[in-house]
């Protein structure tokens, strides 16, 4: 299966915080699954680190992504075009592009964000 991590899921996984549900962590750790991260999530994390709102080593995060073989997805024009028709339920621009990425790539989004759950997108959080 193909899964896309929401930004908070990526952070919690990277920090080994224990905040991920057991089944979600098992999905991420299962070698039969392909796990993707949007460049938008990395952009959001970099901004939060720079503003002092998030305390983590960005270099360590990138190294961990490589070591666990997560795939980083660039922001494609088709995701941006899809934004034009996306209902305005969620105002966060990073979440909106993550939603359109999951929709366009037919991926399951791993997120606890209840606003994202209101969209026509496959998601899991258990």
Q: What is the mean pLDDT of the chain?
A: 96
Our measurement of the distance from residue 122's CA atom to the centroid of its chain's CA atoms, rounded to an integer in Å, reads: 13
pLDDT band at residue 17 using 50, 70 and 90 as cut-offs: confident
Q: Is the predicted pLDDT of residue 90 greater than 90, yes or no?
A: no
Cβ neighbours for 126, distance < 8 A, ≥ 6 positions apart: 21, 23, 24
Domain with residue 113: its CATH number is: 3.40.50.1010
Q: Convert the pLDDT of each residue in 33-88 to its tens digit.
A: 999 999 999 999 999 999 999 999 999 999 999 989 999 999 999 999 999 999 99
- Give the total number of structural domains in the chain: 1
Residue 65, domain extent? 2-124
The pTM (predicted TM-score) of the whole model is 0.95
Q: Residue 92 CB: number of other CB atoms within 10 A?
A: 14
């Amino acid at each position: 299966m193909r899964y896309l991590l929401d930004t908070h899921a990526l952070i919690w996984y990277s920090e080994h915080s224990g905040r991920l549900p057991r089944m979600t962590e098992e999905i991420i750790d299962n070698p039969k699954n392909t796990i993707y991260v949007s460049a938008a999530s990395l952009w959001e994390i970099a901004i939060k680190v720079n503003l002092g709102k998030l305390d983590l080593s960005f270099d360590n995060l990138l190294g961990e992504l490589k070591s666990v073989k997560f795939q980083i997805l660039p922001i494609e024009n088709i995701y941006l075009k899809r934004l034009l028709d996306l209902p305005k339920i969620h105002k966060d621009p990073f979440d909106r592009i993550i939603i359109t990425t999951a929709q366009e790539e037919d991926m399951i989004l791993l997120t606890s964000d209840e606003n994202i759950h209101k969209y026509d997108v496959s998601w899991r959080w258990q």
